[in-house]
Amino acid sequence: MFPGIDLIEVERFARICKKRPAVLERLFTPAELAELGARSWESKAARFAGKEAVLKALGTGIGGGLSWHDVEITANEAGEPLVRLSDKAARVAAARGGDTMRLSLTHTKELAGAMAILGSGEWRVESGEWRVGSGEWGEWGVESGELRGMENMDSRLVTAAQMRRLDARAIADFGLPSAVLMENAALAVAAAAEKFPAVHAGLTVILAGKGNNGGDGLAAARQLAVRGRRTAVFFMGREEDARGDAALNLQLYQRMGGQVTYQGDEGAFALWQRALRHAALVVDALYGTGFHGRLPEAVRPWLQAADDCAAPVLAVDIPSGLNADTGTAEDLAARAAVTVTLGLPKIGLFTGQGPLCAGEVVLSRISLPETVLAAETYDTFLLTPAYVRSLLPARHPAGHKGTHGRGVLIGGSRGMSGAAVLAGQAALRCGIGLLQIVTAEAAEAAVNAGVTEATVWPAAGDSLSGEAWPVIAERLAGADACAVGPGLGQTESFAPLLGRILREGALPAVLDADALNLLARFKDIWPGKRDNLVLTPHPGEMARLRGCGAAEIQAERLTAARRAAEEWGAVVVLKGANTIVAAPDGRAFINPTGNAGLGTGGTGDVLTGAILAYLAQGLPALAAACCAVYLHGAAGDCLRETHGDSGYTALEVAGALPAARRRLERV
């Protein structure tokens, strides 16, 4: 076998390619360029490192008679790297006695790396054999195979039933043995466990159930033991209760001398408590995606003791006690520092109590091929960096203020001018070309002072009323999008104007705050279904619009947002922790960005301004809402780094929007 290894500095690679775009055509074939498209610079650098590694494995490198175009690296249906050699390169390989090239690609934000091995077989990657992250040669995330971090998170979210179908299809149709899937899950869990430094010298205790989730935990215990780590398994049942592959892994663990305590053993719970006092890590492999309802009374003390101990908890697939579909926990659920979710991420990890229970979510595909995953229909998605980055509007180098979108913001009244200011600032920070603000005469001075880059048009009165229509109509005539609501007030005479704005104009629009309250009060002004309309209610506003209580909305946020979008024929942004963006066609997107610091007055107005900016720049309503929601939360995350979870203001959130976008573009 002949190895080849290459490392590339991502920033330097990106800088050279941006300065001289023609370089990309020298490095990559047309097929590679078409596949790489808008992928991140880290991915492109990793692909180039792969070409360099292959050339080194061939023994030539560049300058040895081969060019970069003699090596083509694309992806197979499972997303794994596929190496194709030119006839010339193939002859070089044959001369070295090799006809197989195994390749692994990996990257961080700073470095991209690749390892190639020239051997014998077919010209394609053998998935997993040289994977990073299973202890072979490093601790970076792998571009194909195991995925770490939100940047590499799959955007498709699944229910428990969908995941069962995918597993069954992989086993029955694709021919993947269930024991292989469990072993891959175990490798991922063991790799994640070893990221905790104390595990290397301390004790890892595994709480294992009777089913497949427990089997994953048992197999992970064996993998850790093979690596020389101290482990102890506590099995919630009798030995004969273990089923299928879980029973096999229980036997294998015991055969290698693994320590197993059964729930019914004398003094078992006291041993559990003692083990927790000495534990470096607790692996929660009790219940998986099939769990719903309340935890059995016989199990609750065991899980409560794990939650109460000082050691961090690593959950397998989903924290025990958490509903995989809704993110609800009826009483007790494990509180994990890390959750290794398997196959595809589960909806419940990102909504309801899921984010509080799951900690950092790490995805392992467990070798499920893309052909199997693609056969399922998905309607719930995670707003991932890669997806949002693909939506962002391009800024033409020759553009000007007239080509970057013209927006009209309608709002502001006596005592509530700040809402219009915040929305206006956010629109400007998100790149709108021209902003006009129609506000009440009583708020004109404050709005003028707060948003000096905008043109402000006052209408008589302390708040906008029916008399404001001539001013509004004139401004809308040349606009690309409008926003109504921040600081508007609920003057009854404005309701017909709101209806007129929505019915007579074809402009993309976003409604917030008092515009939503007027819609709730005056049902007759509803415009009918409009796919270029975005509604942004918080739970209280949604409850008023739906005629129910806020608690009912919060209990089933995903369902409430999806139903509202389908019924109203508009994009609905249900604000709150893990904001949901729902489309009229039934799709829903869950936002993972943001933190508790955003729970302060005015941040909703900032979101409205951001949506207005992206609508004005030509994004469809759904894309505009997704971009704004993600970056709004990301701006809060930027501020969290310096302020913590409280103490920053809505105006600072607006100010952090460009930094959030820049950070996203650099990922």
Q: Report, as residue numbers or ranges, the catalytic residues.
A: 56, 107
Q: Are 488 and 411 in contact (CB under 8 A)?
A: yes
Q: Collapsing DSSP states into helix, strand and coil, what is residue 218?
A: helix
For 66, which DSSP code? Answer: B
Phi and psi angles of residue 253, each rounded to the nearest 5 degrees, phi first: -65, -40
- Report residue 651 as tokens: 């105006």
CB neighbourhood size of 147 (10 A)? 21
Query: What are the Cα distances from residue 221, in Å, to 227, 255, 260, 283, 366?
Result: 10, 13, 10, 9, 17
Structure tokens at 170: 């992989």
Q: Residue 362: exposed, middle, or buried by beta-carbon count in 10 A (0-12, 13-18, 19+)?
A: buried
Pairing between strand 380-382 and 360-364?
unpaired
Report the candidate in 227, 222, 229 with the shortest Cα–Cα distance to residue 202: 229
Residue 602 Rama label (left phi>0; alpha psi -120 to 50; beta): left
Between the two ends of the chain, the Cα-to-Cα distance in Å is 35
Q: Do the beta carbons of residue 191 and residue 141 sit within 8 Å?
A: no
Pick the closest to residue 319 from 267, 359, 364, 372 (CA basis).
359
Helices and strands in the chain: count of H runs, count of E runs: 25, 22
